[in-house]
């Protein structure tokens, strides 16, 4: 199958490389001449483990190529996939579809023969209809169908997610489009990956519904973490006890400083806008967005508390800046609001990240960056583990304790063994696990306080 992929970001690049390794002829198309020139030299625009070897191998077989020439790539393709960005619009948070529609117009100009145009970007319900209108208006003679094939890959393990997905979703109202797409994914069907075939609008909604559900799940465990700190429970054990119930599942139950990245914050907001447009309230998602935003800012208070409440003039070392490990992506990273809030409180920020410092530099002012984690921690009044990179989780605590000015460790990712941390003289603050001394409320079952709480207006309204 000849596949042209328009937009060589995370999704486009990984999809093109993987399709090529399955034997399809994939062409990655992007307007960015610098990006295409670099890719032709084997240089990737993003950091993603395993992707460079995959691309090198696929280019060598002749199945993968890169071009800036949309017209030629589209004219030759059986399937054209749109994988351009859909960033949130500044004014209302809705997904900005300008790039998607511009791609549709360009595709329309060059279609030859029967072509299936597929959205891989995360697009609001009904976007496929608009793409169909754009192409149909521009080229009433064209033989084409529009389908939706949303991608569920996670940064950092995108290649594995593409090659071994939990499921593939193919949404098309046209039978030929459905058949063509099924042929593309035949290698996965053969090894037992479920292929969910639906109408186009349903496929568009599945992507948002899945991402928003995972975001809600994270907000849920984060709120449980707060409760754990107050009642003296351990959120890791709560998550384990919950996640072993197969109806719940263990994924997305790691309490942390709030979710970030290019998807969850954007997709929850976009889904909320869609629901408002249709007059259908999605209160759970709305609350989850509010809780997550507030949480990211609140984490600064945790750091200041751990420093004894005195921030002015002190310095803190932030280890890990990206929104998750194994990526250089800083989009919506919880480290950004945390650092800004700590700076407002008067703290000096020292920072280190294994891959994200170049992107972080463009977003953060007045931060001293260090290539080495120990150097970063040197002389600091506290160390904050923000992103659980493997190399940060395996830091030598003995060495760390020798370089810091004050042995205070704030572990936002349960990266370290608390006993080890304390053995090396650190005072430890983490998420969802309060030392006995920090338990704020001790309410006995059947106590009058509990009775009063249960009969508060909030509880009664539930
Ligand atoms: C996500 C989805 O997982 C993927 O299916 C989708 O298509 C793209 O968006 P990604 O943003 O790459 O992938 O990362 P993910 O691993 O899902 O993490 C997102 C954020 O949630 C990160 O900030 C992460 O730290 C946080 N998170 C995740 C938690 O706080 N706890 C968890 O248990 C899981």
Sorted by where each begins, the domain ranges of the chain are 2-198, 210-454
* Mean of pLDDT over the chain: 93
Buried-exposed string 258-278: b where 16+ CB fall within 10 A, e elsewhere: bbbbbbbbbbbbbbbbbbeee
**DSSP per residue, 402-443:** HH-SS-EEEETT--S-HHHHHHTT-EEEESSB--GGG-----
Does this chain's domain 2-198 share its CATH topology with 210-454?
A: yes
Report the C-alpha dihedral over residues 435, 389, 242, 194, rounded to 10 degrees: 180
Is 111 within 8 Å of 146 (Cβ atoms)?
no
354 alpha carbon to ligand 1 midpoint, in Å? 19
Across residues 427-447, what is the average pLDDT? Answer: 67
State yes or no: is 263 an active-site residue: yes
| Residue 263 pLDDT exceeds 80 | yes
**pLDDT per position as a tens digit, 345-390:** 999 999 999 999 999 999 999 999 999 999 999 999 999 999 999 9
**pLDDT per position as a tens digit, 391-422:** 999 999 999 999 999 999 999 999 999 999 99
May I ask the CATH class of domain 2-198?
A: alpha beta
- The pLDDT assigned to 311 comes to 86
- Out of 161, 211, 218, 257, give the residue to mutate to test ligand 1, the one with the largest number of ligand atoms within 8 Å of its CB: 218
- State how far the Cα of 181 lies from the Cα of 394, in Å rounded to an integer: 44
Cβ–ligand 1 distance for 320 under 6 Å, the answer no
298's tokens: 């609140």
306's tokens: 């751990």
Cβ–ligand 1 distance for 208 under 6 Å, the answer no
- State how far the Cα of 163 lies from the Cα of 183, in Å rounded to an integer: 15
Nearest atom within ligand 1 for CA of residue 253: 33
Cβ–ligand 1 distance for 261 under 6 Å, the answer yes
Handedness of CA 41, 45, 49, 54 (dihedral sign): negative
What's phi and psi for 118, nearest 5 deg? -120, 135
* Of 75, 1, 85, the residue nearest 35 (C-alpha): 85
Nearest atom within ligand 1 for CA of residue 151: 7
Nearest CA to ligand 1 atom 28: 252
What's phi and psi for 222, nearest 5 deg? -65, -40
Cβ–ligand 1 distance for 265 under 6 Å, the answer no
Strand order, beta sheet including 64-67: 64-67, 25-29, 2-6, 79-82, 115-119, 144-148, 168-172, 195-198
**pLDDT per position as a tens digit, 143-194:** 999 999 999 999 899 999 999 999 999 999 999 999 999 999 999 999 999 9
Does CATH number 3.40.190.10 belong to domain 210-454? no
- The pLDDT assigned to 447 comes to 58
pTM of model > 0.85: yes
* Strand 367-369, strand 382-385: pairing: unpaired
């Amino acid at each position: 199958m000849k596949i042209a992929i328009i937009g060589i970001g995370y999704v486009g690049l990984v999809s093109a490389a993987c399709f090529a390794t399955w034997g399809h002829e994939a062409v990655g198309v992007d307007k960015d001449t610098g990006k295409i020139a670099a890719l032709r030299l084997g240089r990737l625009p993003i950091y993603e483990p395993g992707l460079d070897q995959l691309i090198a191998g696929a280019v060598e077989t002749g199945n993968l190529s890169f071009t800036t020439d949309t017209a030629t790539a589209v004219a030759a393709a059986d399937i054209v996939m749109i994988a351009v960005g859909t960033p949130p619009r500044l004014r209302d948070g809705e997904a900005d579809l300008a790039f998607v529609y511009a791609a549709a117009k360009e595709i329309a100009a060059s279609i030859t023969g029967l072509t299936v145009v597929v959205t891989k970007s995360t697009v609001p319900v009904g976007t496929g209809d608009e793409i169909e209108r754009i192409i149909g208006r521009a080229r009433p003679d064209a033989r084409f169908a529009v389908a939706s094939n949303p991608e569920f890959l996670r940064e950092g393990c995108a290649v594995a997610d593409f090659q071994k997905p939990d499921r593939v979703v193919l949404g098309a109202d046209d039978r030929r489009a459905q058949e063509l797409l099924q042929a593309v994914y035949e290698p996965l069907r053969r090894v037992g990956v479920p292929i969910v075939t639906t109408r186009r609008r349903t496929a568009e909604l599945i992507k948002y519904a899945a991402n928003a559900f995972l975001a809600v799940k994270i907000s849920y465990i984060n709120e449980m973490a707060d409760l754990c700190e107050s009642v003296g429970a351990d959120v890791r054990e709560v998550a384990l006890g919950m996640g072993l119930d197969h109806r719940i599942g263990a994924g997305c139950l790691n309490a942390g400083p709030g979710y970030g990245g290019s998807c969850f914050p954007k997709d929850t907001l976009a889904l909320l806008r869609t629901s408002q447009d249709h007059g259908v309230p999605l209160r759970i998602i709305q609350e989850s967005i509010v809780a997550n935003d507030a949480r990211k800012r609140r984490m600064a208070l945790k750091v200041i508390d751990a420093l004894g409440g005195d921030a002015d003039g002190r310095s803190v070392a932030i280890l890990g800046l990206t929104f998750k490990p194994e990526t250089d992506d800083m989009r919506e990273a919880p480290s950004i609001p945390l650092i800004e809030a700590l700076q407002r409180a008067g703290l000096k920020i020292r920072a280190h990240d294994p891959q994200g410092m170049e992107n972080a530099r463009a977003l953060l002012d007045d931060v001293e960056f260090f290539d080495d984690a120990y150097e970063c921690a040197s002389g600091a009044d506290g160390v904050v583990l923000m992103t659980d990179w493997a190399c940060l989780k395996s830091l030598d605590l003995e060495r760390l304790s020798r370089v810091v000015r004050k042995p205070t460790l704030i572990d936002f990712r349960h990266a370290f063994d608390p006993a080890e941390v304390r053995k090396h003289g650190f005072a430890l603050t983490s998420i969802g696990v309060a030392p006995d001394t920090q338990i704020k409320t001790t309410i006995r079952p059947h106590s009058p306080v509990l009775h009063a709480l249960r009969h508060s207006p909030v509880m009664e309204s539930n």
